[in-house]
Every structure is written in C-alpha cells, then in structure tokens.
C-alpha cells in the first residue's frame, strides 16, 4: 500500500491530466471523472514499489485499460439488449408494426439514393436485378449501395 501523503501528492499532481486524457477517450466528462477515481483506487491498492518516474505511465495505462473495459461492457450490454428486443419483436409484432419498424430503420440512411434502393429491396421486395433496372444502375452499384446503407444502419444501431 502507498502512504497517504504520497498518494495525496500523486492524486493532486496527476488527477487533472488523467481526467483530461480520459475525457478525450470517453467523450463524456462524467465517465472520465468516474474512471479517474477508479484509476486512483487501483493505484492506492498496488504496492508502493512503483517508482516515482513511472507513476504517470502506470496511471495512463490503467486509465486506458479502464476505458477499454468500459467500452466493452457497454457494447456487450447493448448487443444483449438488441438480441432481447429482436426476440420480443418477432413474437409481439403485427405485420403493420413490422412495416413501420422497417421504415424507421430505413430512415436512418442519410443518402437519398442508398435509402431508395434499400426501400425497393426491403419494403417492396425487388431483387437486385429488378432494382438495378428500376433505378437504371448496374447490379454491382446496387450491391455497393446496399452494403453502405446496411453498414450505416449497423453503425447507428451499435453506437
């Protein structure tokens, strides 16, 4: 364990730098402050054999690892939540609700052409060849637009 005075001095010296570092990673000051506290709690619990010149490196490494752990926990929780929502969605929705949810998901796509092609595929049921003829584009371009639209939806739902 670290002595109280050494810990207080270290806290005063590095608290602001670690909080600022974490705020840059987390993009949220409350999360950064919470993780800063966790970081110093971990420092308090380690043995006092950390050299003075290595303290800041230890704190930054601990802060980075805590931020990564937080992102992973949130991602897992979000994925679990999405899976539960999907299961409930299939069991509790009518055809009209399904249509409305698909329209809502399609509206996430910002590019007008990508959204139009996604609507033709999902809402109207056209295949790639038919969609290409309707919008007068190549089948390869239709696949690219669909991929980009789905990626945008996936990114939006995960973040």
- What local confidence, expressed as pLDDT, does residue 138 receive? 94
Structural domains in the chain? 4-89 (1.10.1740), 94-158 (1.10.10.10)
- What local confidence, expressed as pLDDT, does residue 63 receive? 94
- What local confidence, expressed as pLDDT, does residue 47 receive? 64
Q: Are 1 and 48 in contact (CB under 8 A)?
A: yes
- What local confidence, expressed as pLDDT, does residue 96 receive? 64
- What local confidence, expressed as pLDDT, does residue 37 receive? 94
Task: State the DSSP string of 55-113.
Answer: HHHHHHHHHHHHHHHHHHHHHHHHHHHHHHHHHHHHHH--HHHHHHHHHHHHTT--SHH
pLDDT beneath 50: ranges in the chain: none
Give pLDDT tens digits for 76-118: 777 766 666 666 656 655 666 667 777 788 888 888 998 899 8
On whether the pTM is more than 0.85, the answer is: no
- What local confidence, expressed as pLDDT, does residue 132 receive? 93
């Amino acid at each position: 364990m670290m002595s109280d005075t050494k810990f207080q001095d270290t806290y005063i010296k590095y608290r602001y730098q670690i909080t600022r570092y974490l705020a840059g990673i987390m993009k949220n000051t409350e999360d950064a402050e919470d993780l800063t506290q966790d970081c110093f709690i971990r420092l308090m619990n380690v043995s006092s054999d950390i050299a003075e010149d290595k303290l800041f490196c230890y704190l930054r490494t601990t802060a980075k690892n805590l931020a990564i752990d937080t992102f992973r926990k949130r991602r897992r929780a979000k994925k679990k939540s999405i899976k539960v929502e999907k299961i409930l969605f299939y069991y509790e929705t009518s055809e009209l609700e399904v249509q409305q949810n698909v329209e809502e998901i399609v509206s996430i796509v910002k590019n007008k052409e990508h959204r139009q092609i996604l609507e033709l595929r999902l809402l109207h049921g056209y295949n790639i060849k038919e969609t290409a003829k309707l919008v007068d584009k190549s089948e390869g371009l239709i696949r690219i637009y669909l991929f980009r639209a789905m990626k945008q939806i996936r990114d939006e739902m995960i973040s």
